[in-house]
Amino acid sequence: MPEGDTIFRSARTLKAALAGRTVTSFRTVLAHLARVDVDSPLTGRTVDDVVASGKHILIHFSGDLILRTHMRMHGTWHLYRPGERWKQPGRDMRMVIATDAFEAVAFRVPVAELRTAATLERDDVIQSLGPDLLDDNADLDEAVARLHALGGVPLGDALLNQRAVAGLGNVFKSEICFAANLSPLAPVGSLDEATLMRVLAIARRQLRANVPDARAAALTTWNGGRRTTGRSHPAEALWVYGRAGRPCRRCATPIALIKQGPDARLTYYCPVCQHLRG
């Protein structure tokens, strides 16, 4: 599933390609978007901005229209020059936003809605999001308070709660807990504020390490895999995620794998390095 770093990179690239340009055509196979487009056509509008909000991408068009998308497990945005061959099959296309210079194609995106500023302001999905760690102005004290308020929820599950802190997903959950030397099973309410602030500092550092500099990124896609160890080789890029049964990079204990939460999300951890707290 795309996590906050992936969404941030996608939004930034879409903004670089589309912002300030006029929409020359809009196509979609999603009936609810097509209905809105009939009454409030996107064609002829200017793309004013593209921003990431947690795991959501918000594309702002002139005339007070906002497209909200969520990638879920398999959704992606691609950019192509006009006439360029797509790298995904046409059957997976959900919408195409075309300008004179680029086509932004959403493949397998399951959540897409057109909103106005007023309806977005009332959208609980967006308004209930916790602080986004890739936002330089994120209120980390608020994020700590929201996490602590979850009480008996295990830390691994709490970090995935988008109402507490926005943007983290399954890979970062495991990697953050390891880097903090905390068990993903520890009740989040048992951790003091200083510990939770340290967890968020690690989370922010890991997320930012996976967002390349805007000037270097330009309009290229991210070619490297997700990294948390600081090492570039793919086999050495992560501390624990996907490494069940393999030796811990610190103590050589076999990495454990459990399923957590109502969705049975996979969690990887070292039973020795990550002692149970609380």
Q: Domain locations in the chain?
A: 4-127, 140-269
Residue pair 130/139 in contact (Cβ under 8 Å)? The answer is no
Looking at domain 4-127, what is its CATH homologous superfamily? MutM-like, N-terminal (3.20.190.10)
Rounded CA-CA distance 53/167 in Å is 8
* pLDDT for res 214: 56
Beta-bridge partner residues of 65: 61
* pLDDT for res 99: 97
Which residues in the chain come in under a pLDDT of 70?
A: 1-2, 212-225, 276-278
Given the residues 2, 131, 154, 184, the one annotated as active site = 2
DSSP string of the chain, one letter each residue: ---HHHHHHHHHHHHHHHTTPBP-EEEES-HHHHHHHHHS--TT-BEEEEEEETTEEEEEETTTEEEEEE-TTT-EEEEE-TTPPPSS-GGGEEEEEE-SS-EEEEES--EEEEE-HHHHHT-HHHHT---BTTSTT--HHHHHHHHHTTTTSBHHHHTT-TTTSBS--HHHHHHHHHHTT--TTSBGGGS-HHHHHHHHHHHHHHHHHTS--HHHHTTPPP-SPP-SSS--SGGGS-SSTT-TTSBPTTT-PBPEEEEETTTTEEEEE-TTTS----
* pLDDT for res 124: 87
Catalytic residue flag (residue 193):
no
Catalytic residue flag (residue 3):
yes
**Nearest alpha carbon to residue 133 among 72, 195, 54, 244:** 54
Catalytic residue flag (residue 131):
no
Given the residues 3, 15, 131, 154, the one annotated as active site = 3
* pLDDT for res 95: 97
Q: Domain 140-269, what fold?
A: Helicase, Ruva Protein; domain 3 (1.10.8)
Given the residues 15, 41, 55, 84, the one annotated as active site = 55
